[in-house]
């Protein structure tokens, strides 16, 4: 069995004249959790849809389990589970029936589907809700049920499009815990997310996408070190101070800097030293915060701060 689960080479998807995915290459290895990060419209979801064969590539190579997505969609789909961004449960059916019906799509007998449904409802802690209708479940429960449903075929690859968007912190942690358990069980995962914390928590490797291209790729900690340094010193400028002059004096203190509105971010390996040197300069500033650099810093540096609609 190949160690490469998904292999993309020079993958392109055009919708009319729009290049939603513009020549990307990546690999997802067996057993890892791979994350796509990017602003809205970056091409994350389109890429995922090509992997689960709901969008056909315009150009390039895309193989899942060494099978070409254009030629073997049924065989690929038999081995993957998909958790959509939107809730796509059958609302008129009960919790358990939603799982049974899905099991049937994958060719399971009713008896086998029922056996797995019982186990999965235990796994996502919905056993007590088996006979309830979908509208009676909270958002977090619905998301857990979506995950259970995606697992009914015992897939080797799980694809999750923004698995925790819109959930409260408790529900989000509950989902994370399940996903970590699944990873320990050896299930490969590909996810998209807007939450940098989620990517740092779950992903072994991430690809940051913008404008249909991959702008950086690697383990989250490595990307942080490479693009944001180890620590960030956030300097709040005085409202009426000589901003440009202050920035000019701060700049040599760190390896990299960024100005956003009335704040200056200094990226550095040694935040303590920067803060110390800054004190001795006696600049007109309102406040200083020292914090660890995060994936969010990398993300914003690479994709910019412009709002995406």
Partner 1 sequence: MMDVSLRGAFRFWQRNLLLFRRIFLTALPENFLEPVLYLVALGVGLGSYLREVDGIPYVAFVATGLAASAAMYGATFECTYNAYVQFAYDRAYEAIITTPLSAEDLAVGEVLWGATRSVIYGSAFLAVAALFGAVQSLWALLLPAVFFVAGLVFSALGLAFTALTPSIDLFTYYFSLWITPQFMFSGIFFPLEALPRWVQQAAWFAPLYHAVRATRAFAFGDPADAWGSLLWLTLAALVLLSVPAVLLRRRLVQ
Integer CA distances (angstroms), 140 to 172, 183, 195, in order: 8, 20, 17
How far apart are CB 54 and partner 1 at their closest, in Å?
A: 6
In this structure, the strands spanning 33-37 and 188-193 are parallel
Rule CB under 8 A: which residues touch partner 1? Answer: 15, 52-56, 73-74, 77-78, 80, 82, 84, 86, 88, 90-93, 97, 101-102, 104-107, 153
By beta-carbon proximity to partner 1, the closer residue of 84 and 263 is: 84
How far apart are CB 238 and partner 1 at their closest, in Å?
A: 51
How far apart are CB 301 and partner 1 at their closest, in Å?
A: 33
Residue 258 per-residue DSSP state: E
By beta-carbon proximity to partner 1, the closer residue of 88 and 138 is: 88
By beta-carbon proximity to partner 1, the closer residue of 107 and 304 is: 107
* Cβ contacts of 3 within 8 Å, gap of 6 or more: 29, 30
Which of 101, 170, 98 minimizes the C-alpha distance to 134? Answer: 98
CA distance 89 to 71: 28
By beta-carbon proximity to partner 1, the closer residue of 77 and 301 is: 77
By beta-carbon proximity to partner 1, the closer residue of 54 and 130 is: 54
How far apart are CB 116 and partner 1 at their closest, in Å?
A: 14
In this structure, the strands spanning 256-260 and 263-268 are antiparallel
How far apart are CB 294 and partner 1 at their closest, in Å?
A: 32
CA distance 287 to 122: 50
Structure tokens at 49: 């849809």
């Amino acid at each position: 069995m190949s160690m490469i689960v998904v292999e993309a080479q020079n993958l392109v998807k055009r919708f009319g004249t729009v290049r939603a995915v513009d020549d990307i290459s990546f690999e997802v290895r067996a057993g890892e959790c791979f994350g796509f990060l990017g602003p809205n419209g970056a091409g994350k979801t389109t890429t995922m849809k090509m992997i689960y064969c709901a969008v056909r590539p315009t150009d390039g190579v895309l193989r899942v389990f060494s099978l070409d997505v254009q030629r073997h969609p049924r065989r690929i789909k038999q081995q993957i589970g998909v958790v959509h961004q939107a809730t796509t449960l059958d609302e008129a059916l009960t919790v358990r029936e939603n799982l049974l019906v899905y099991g049937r799509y994958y060719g399971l007998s009713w008896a086998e589907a029922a056996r797995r449904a019982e186990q999965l409802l235990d796994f996502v802690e919905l056993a007590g809700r088996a006979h309830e209708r979908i509208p009676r479940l909270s958002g977090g429960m619905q998301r857990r049920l979506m995950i259970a449903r995606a697992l009914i075929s015992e897939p080797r690859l799980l694809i999750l499009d923004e698995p925790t968007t819109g959930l409260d912190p408790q529900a989000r942690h509950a989902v994370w815990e399940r996903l970590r358990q699944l990873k320990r069980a050896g299930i490969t995962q590909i996810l998209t997310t807007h939450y940098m914390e989620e990517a740092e928590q779950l992903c072994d490797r991430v690809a940051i996408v913008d404008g249909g291209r991959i702008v950086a790729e690697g383990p989250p900690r490595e990307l942080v070190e490479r693009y944001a340094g180890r620590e960030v010193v956030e300097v709040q400028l005085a409202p009426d101070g000589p901003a440009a002059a202050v920035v000019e004096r701060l700049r040599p203190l760190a390896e990299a800097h960024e100005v956003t509105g009335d704040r200056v971010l200094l990226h550095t390996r040694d935040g303590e030293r920067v803060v110390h040197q800054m004190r001795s300069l006696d600049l007109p500033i309102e406040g200083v915060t020292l914090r660890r650099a995060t994936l969010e810093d990398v993300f914003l540096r690479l994709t910019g701060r412009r709002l995406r609609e």
